Amino acid sequence: MLGAAMKIALAQINPTVGDLAGNRRLAEEAASRAADAGADLVVLPELALTGYPPMDLLERDRFVDDQLAELDELAKASQRIAIVVGAVVRTADARPKSIENAAVVLAAGRRLTHRSKTLLPTYDVFDEQRYFANAKDRTPVEIPGLELPLGLAVCEDTWFQTRPYPVDPVAELAAGGAALIVNPSASPWHVGKARERRALLADVAKRSGRPVVFVNQVGGNDELVFDGGSCVIGADGTVQLAMPLFEPGLAIVELPTRRGGDGTLGLALGAGRALADVVDPSDVEQLERGLVLGIRDYFLKQNLPPGAVIGLSGGIDSAVTAHLAVEALGADRVVGIAMPGPFSTDHSIEDAFELGRQLGIHVRRADIGPVYDVYRQLFAKLFGARDDYGLTQQNIQSRIRGAILMACSNEENRLVLATGNKSELSVGYCTLYGDTVGGLAVLGDVYKRDVYALARHANRHAKERGERIPLRTIEKPPSAELAADQFDQNDLPPYDILDDVLSQAIEGGKSRASIVPPPGCSDEVAQAIFRRLDRNEYKRRQTPLVLRTSEKAFGGGRRLPIVHRYTG
């Protein structure tokens, strides 16, 4: 190590799952930039070469070997700078699981050593015990040119206090002589996650008496969004460096060194910022930026041309979805289709086209009345003639619209973005094969209250730049407009009550008997909401991929049986 300081580069990159060569090139570019800036070491995220999570790609016969070949290619870049990179390695013994999730050290053009992950998360969206073997021991590493021993702790290894884990990897590394904890991670985002992470890492640093370098990936991979937020935490729990959220980047931290009275070398960090002094974007700003990143990467990483199509009802959900799509893809790649039916109001169609003008997107009109009339004639033959077919005729309108959107998808190779929110999906206030069609459910983890917050946030510059979402769309009572004088409030409790009960049940994990009715809500109504939540699991299994914004989203992180009789 040259001089009296160690310079470490934090490479916050956006890998794509399975793009082994592309991810290796991202790592090479980061290493080159770090070396040019005079860094001694560059740290990349967990499983940076495979992308996270690789899931059952790990079980394909050539996947791990192909990744190891890219790792050896990346090692060439370590002639100029030492590299710590997350990668899959094979176990050294004949255990049943033959691969490990490791932090690999590359130096002097070769693989020097690695340290594997001890704590394999198997909860919510994580399923690492399905694939990986745990590390058998935890010892610091010494890298030529760096005088300080490093403790490599991969992602969950710093989260030991959050679960009843039998091992504290950081404590063992500190006891073994590590002067610095390096934490390559792939830590998924939800609103407020960066703040939670820094608090946890500050606790880890203070408990161990060691600074922590945390490097997180950024970008969207399927339903997961990664926010970056890489940081350096001093041994006193202060923040020495905090990188931006939702953006790739490279930052270099200089860690001064000093010799103690016993001759050992340690770190002498100056005073950093208190945790409270690190200001993240507001919750609604995080929500918008996270969803935009999730949409953008879902398209870009699949090379989906030419863009998205959205059914525009004149309501707030479709308006916010369209706004987010434009922010992610650009107005030229988003098309809206207004599909008035027999119960559509004039103002809804007007609002749909006004939204198009304000967002700069092309909006087409496709009246569903003639198709609906044909269905009515068919119903008369199937079910007998009558004036009103109730829910049957309501749902068929939604399914006609879904079919039109899918026709546009087929004809123009566009991805349909579903517009339903978490409140509606929770209680089944949606139509299978109707408004649930599509390739991505943008708002599927966003409660109605937060949809309104997103809409107001979209209009935050209305005085200077004009509205993004028509004010009338935000202010009018929400309605599916599938029947005369139909409003959401006729079928659902007020959204503030609905969302309160749902968040207790979903994010809070409460059973029906434990739900505390919010003000203005009877116990009977709260119980009815919970019953609807359970009863509509079958619908959620058939909806598009939901972008995760909370600690408990519909999808891989929430696994409930469709058929069950538990009522507690």
Q: Among the options 46, 172, 223, 424, which is catalytic?
A: 46
Q: Among the options 7, 100, 117, 408, which is catalytic?
A: 117
Which residues lie closer than 8 Å to 260 by C-beta, 6 or more apart?
266
- Does residue 336 contact residue 348 with C-beta atoms inside 8 Å? no
Is 78 exposed, middle or buried (CB count within 10 Å of its CB: 0-12, 13-18, 19+)? buried
CB atoms within 10 A of CB 177: 13
* Positive/negative CA dihedral, 243, 174, 44, 18: negative
Angle subtended by helix axes 448-458 and 283-300, to nearest 10: 90
- Does residue 186 contact residue 101 with C-beta atoms inside 8 Å? no
Residue 301 is a catalytic residue: no
Query: Structure tokens of 230?
Result: 């890489």
Question: Residue 81: which of 113, 141, 34 has the closest Cα?
Answer: 34
Strand duo 249-259 + 265-267: pairing: antiparallel
Q: In the beta sheet, which residues pair with residue 102?
A: 87, 116
- Does residue 424 contact residue 476 with C-beta atoms inside 8 Å? no
Question: Residue 334: which of 323, 343, 349, 320 has the closest Cα?
Answer: 323
Residue 521 is a catalytic residue: no
Cis peptide before 53 (omega within 30 of 0): yes
DSSP string, 350-396: HHHHHHHHHHT-EEEE---HHHHHHHHHHHHHHH---S--THHHHHH
Question: Residue 304: which of 417, 460, 425, 146 has the closest Cα?
Answer: 417
Is 549 exposed, middle or buried (CB count within 10 Å of its CB: 0-12, 13-18, 19+)? buried
Residue 117 is a catalytic residue: yes
Q: Among the options 70, 155, 422, 448, which is catalytic?
A: 155
Active site residues: 46, 117, 155
